[in-house]
Chains A and B, each alone.
Chain A
Amino acid sequence: QSALTQPASVSGSPGQSITISCTGTSSDVGGYNYVSWYQQHPGKAPKLMIYDVSHRPSGVSNRFSGSKSGSTASLTISGLQAEDEADYYCSSYTSSNTRVFGTGTKVTVL
């Protein structure tokens, strides 16, 4: 199972919106609405930000939103804040009943 493809880095100024893509195949992202997104600050455990493509867990800011088109999912962060600077990973359920992560994207707030 190959990792899902994410851009290595994305940057934006405070207040701007950025979008991170996550590209898979029909056996994972394209085949199921089980895409999730995780935020990871240095030295910390990942934190769930989005599940089932577009659902936010309680306590996660509504500045974070998710979507999917075909085999590409996206995470959008609006009103970018300094605290959003972190690594972000997508993940998907797969047709083999396994899970696969994306390659990870480093978000920099300029």
Chain B
Amino acid sequence: QVQLVESGGGVVQPGGSLRLSCAASGFSFSNYGMHWVRQAPGKGLEWVAFIEYDAITKHYADSVKGRFTISRDNSKNTLSLQMNSLRPEDTAVYYCAKDGHCTSNSCYPHHFDYWGQGALLTVSS
């Protein structure tokens, strides 16, 4: 079964950095794009970043562009999010999510197929 387990959350001061990781299992990680999605306390979901299966294509939300970097290691089935210049408004639960799914006949991208349990980042002095 698909499992996504985030780690690396914690408390960071404004301007600081943190790296989140997501360990994937139960599917062919190297064949799928992956996302980071966040949710501020009591707020809605916000898409953060996407990385294609081959790690070449990456896209970011305007709110994190230039500060966050998404990456992956297909040899270790691991997704990462390097977060720099953190702001209080970055405080949220960060979820990793698998992009789409494939059947024996076709692939269906562009939705969040499975989600991790989330990792909490708090940016506060």
Chain A residues in contact with chain B, CB under 8 A?
A: 1, 3, 32, 34, 36, 38, 40, 45-48, 51-52, 55, 57, 89, 91, 93, 96-104
A1 touches B61 (CB 8 A): yes
For the residues of B in contact with A, the DSSP-based class is strand
- Beta-carbon contacts under 8 Å, B30-51 to A: 35, 37, 44-47, 50
Q: Contacts of B37 on A, CB cut-off 8 Å?
A: 46, 101
> Number of B interface residues, CB 8 Å?
25
CB<8 Å pairs between A and B, sample of 10:
A1-B62, A45-B95, A46-B37, A48-B111, A51-B113, A55-B108, A89-B44, A91-B47, A101-B44, A102-B44
A47 touches B111 (CB 8 A): no
Q: Contacts of B45 on A, CB cut-off 8 Å?
A: 38, 40, 46, 89, 91, 101, 104
